[in-house]
Structures are given as C-alpha cells and as structure tokens.
C-alpha cells in the first residue's frame, strides 16, 4: 500500500456543493433572506479566508466550486479566488489562505458552505498530521477507516492524505476485509478467505486477527494483509515476528484502542500501519473564517 497523491474528483465536489447549498439556501435557486435584503447585487468587495487556529489546511479546492455555484444561482459574476496556500500546508493563526473578490452577495451567501467543508477537512488533516509526525522515522504509516461522515467520505479521506496519512479502502466494494462476524458466518478464517477468492478473485483480501493462531491461519489461507486487532504490545510483537517468519511480504496493521502516546511503541513492533478511526470520526474542525474587507481598503 502506498500513500496516494492528494486529489479530489471535480464531479464529486460539484455534487457535494450542490447538496450543501440546497441544504442552506433551499431548492435551486434558493435564497439568503438577510444578505439579499441588506446588500445590493451590484456591490463588490473582497474577503480573506483566514485561519483562526494553527493546523493543516485541506478542502480549499472546494472554494471555487462553492462561489461559482452561488454566483450561478444569483445570476451574478463569479468571484475570483486567489488561493494563497495549497491543501496540506501547515498554517498558523492569522494566515490568509485565500482572497475572494467579487459580488458581496455571492461572498456572503457562499460563506458558511465553504467554511463548513474546508473547516471539516482541515480538522481531519490537522489530526492526521499529529499521527504522521508521531510515526516519523518508524517506517509505519497511519491509516484511516470507513468511520466517516455520510456523504463526506471522499472529502475526509482526501483530508487524511493531505495530513500525511494513507487511505485503507474507500468502501465495501474495493477491498475484502474478513472480520470476526464473517468468520463466524463462514465457519473459519480459511473458509471465509476461500469464499471471497472464489467470488471475487481480483479483489485484495484483508483478514482481522485477534490471536496468533488466527493470524497464522489467515496467512496459511493466502491472506496478504492482516489487521491485528486490540493486541497488547507484547502479543503484537510476537505475532509480527511469527508472521514475518512464515511470509515476510505480508502487510501488517495494528488496530483498536490506539492512542498518540502509544504510537511509536506500537510502531516499534514492526507493523506497517496503525489504523485510527478517530482521524475521521473524532477530529474537531479547524476554525477558519471569511472576513469581509472594509469598503475602500
């Protein structure tokens, strides 16, 4: 498994922004009763997108789509977006991330939607960067999971990549992950692996193991990626040594109840990855703001 280059599908961005704007403005074209009452459509201005906290930014790539769709709904010119830093950049409080110039109505109508998306993504990237920094030099990488916000998985996994992490799988469709309930249903690890290989021979198979016996059974069945779940460090080290003795090429992941203060200890066992669901399900946002510049500045 390799760390993908951060990118986000433009078609996904467009669909997601449309849904977010419908949620905020109502069905197309929608309305902002405050902004459209107090600001004439011909008024123009500039606004700074600013970091209010130190962190790592992500999601700035959605900003042009948000202002473009808002402008189309209002029938006004599209503001220019002068992005000052790329996604994945470490920033400090007060840094200007982008300058938006155009109709003030568009800027203010777009404000909350672009902040919601970029703040959420930046929070995930910031949290991920802490794990990536903690693992620096160990040879282990931090992985995300499917524990994502419904509808925002692509954005959150993109943010993980921006923060120096790695995506484990995008969904149930691209990688087979044999977990304890699958083993119960199939009767054994070997039977579950065989069933997947028979039905979907082209798909990579990963197997969860709670014990040394399960890990060795999975390797014997042909699994090339193991999730070593909730193992104390001594057992984890024992399993890594035993599996490597049988097949050095098997990729190994520690998962379950991992914390930043244990990251290097867990990595020292020789695992390739640490899987951390909290990257996406428990990251607070990074506080960003859109500050309209005073007229005449």
Structural domain that includes position 36: 10-125+284-292
277 and 288 co-located in one domain = no
- Percent with pLDDT over 90 in the chain: 93
In a domain? residue 86: yes
Q: Of 112, 146, 244, 262, which is the active-site residue?
A: 112
Instruction: Note the pLDDT of residue 3.
Output: 44
Q: What average pLDDT does range 210-225 have in this prediction?
A: 94
59 and 147 co-located in one domain = no
For 33-92, what is each residue's pLDDT tens digit? 999 999 999 999 999 999 999 999 999 999 999 999 999 999 999 999 999 999 999 999
pLDDT band at 297; cut points 50, 70, 90: very low
Q: Which run of H or of E encompasses 71?
A: helix 63-74
Q: Of 147, 197, 224, 244, which is the active-site residue?
A: 147
Q: Are 183 and 201 in contact (CB under 8 A)?
A: no
Q: Give the end-to-end CA distance of the chain in Å, rounded to a whole number.
A: 50
Q: What average pLDDT does range 1-21 have in this prediction?
A: 83
Q: Of 208, 217, 253, 272, which is the active-site residue?
A: 208
Say whether 147 is catalytic.
yes
Residue 233: which of 213, 214, 261 has the closest Cα? 261
CB atoms within 10 A of CB 22: 12
DSSP string of 211-280, one letter each residue: SHHHHHHHHHTT-SEEEEES--HHHHHHHHHHHHHH-TT-EEEEESS--GGGHHHHHTTT-SEEE-THHH
56 and 177 co-located in one domain = no
Query: Distance between CA 125 and CA 89 in Å, rounded?
Result: 10
Q: Which run of H or of E encompasses 22?
A: helix 10-25
Say whether 208 is catalytic.
yes
Instruction: Note the pLDDT of residue 5.
Output: 54
Q: In the chain, count of helices (H) and strands (E)?
A: 11, 12
Q: What is the CATH number of the domain that holds 226?
A: 3.20.20.70
Q: Of 52, 84, 179, 197, which is the active-site residue?
A: 179
Q: Of 65, 229, 253, 272, which is the active-site residue?
A: 229
Q: Helix, strand, or coil here: 208?
A: strand
Using CA atoms, how far residue 58 sits from 79, 101, 204, in Å, is 21, 21, 29
111 and 147 co-located in one domain = no
Strands 96-103 and 80-83: antiparallel
In a domain? residue 3: no
In a domain? residue 90: yes
In a domain? residue 4: no
Residue 225 has pLDDT above 80, yes or no: yes
91 and 158 co-located in one domain = no
182 and 75 co-located in one domain = no
163 and 195 co-located in one domain = yes
């Amino acid at each position: 498994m390799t760390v993908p280059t951060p990118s986000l599908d433009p078609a996904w961005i467009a669909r997601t922004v449309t849904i977010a704007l419908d949620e905020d403005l109502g069905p197309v074209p929608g309305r902002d009763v405050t902004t459209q009452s107090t600001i004439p459509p011909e008024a123009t201005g500039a606004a700074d997108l600013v970091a209010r906290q130190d962190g790592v930014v992500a999601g700035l790539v959605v900003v042009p789509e948000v202002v473009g769709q808002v402008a189309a709904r209002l029938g006004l010119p599209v503001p220019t977006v002068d992005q000052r830093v790329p996604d994945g950049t470490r920033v400090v409080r007060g840094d200007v991330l982008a300058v938006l110039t155009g109709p003030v109505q568009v800027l203010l109508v777009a404000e909350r939607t672009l902040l919601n998306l970029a703040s959420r993504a930046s929070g995930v990237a910031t949290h991920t960067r802490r794990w990536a920094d903690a693992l620096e030099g160990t040879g282990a990488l931090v992985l995300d999971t499917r524990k994502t916000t419904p509808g925002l998985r692509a954005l959150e996994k993109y943010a993980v990549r921006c923060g120096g992490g790695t995506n484990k799988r995008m969904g149930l469709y691209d990688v087979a992950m044999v977990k304890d309930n699958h083993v119960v249903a199939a009767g054994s690890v070997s039977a579950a692996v065989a069933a997947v290989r028979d039905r979907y021979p082209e798909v990579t198979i990963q197997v969860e193991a709670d014990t040394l016996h399960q890990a060795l059974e999975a390797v014997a069945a042909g699994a090339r990626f193991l999730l070593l779940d909730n193992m104390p460090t001594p057992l984890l080290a024992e399993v890594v040594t035993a599996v490597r003795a049988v097949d050095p090429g098997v990729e190994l992941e520690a998962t379950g109840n991992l914390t930043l203060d244990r990251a290097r200890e867990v990595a020292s066992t020789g695992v390739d990855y640490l899987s951390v669901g909290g990257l996406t399900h428990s990251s607070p946002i990074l506080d960003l703001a859109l500050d309209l510049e005073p007229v005449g500045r």
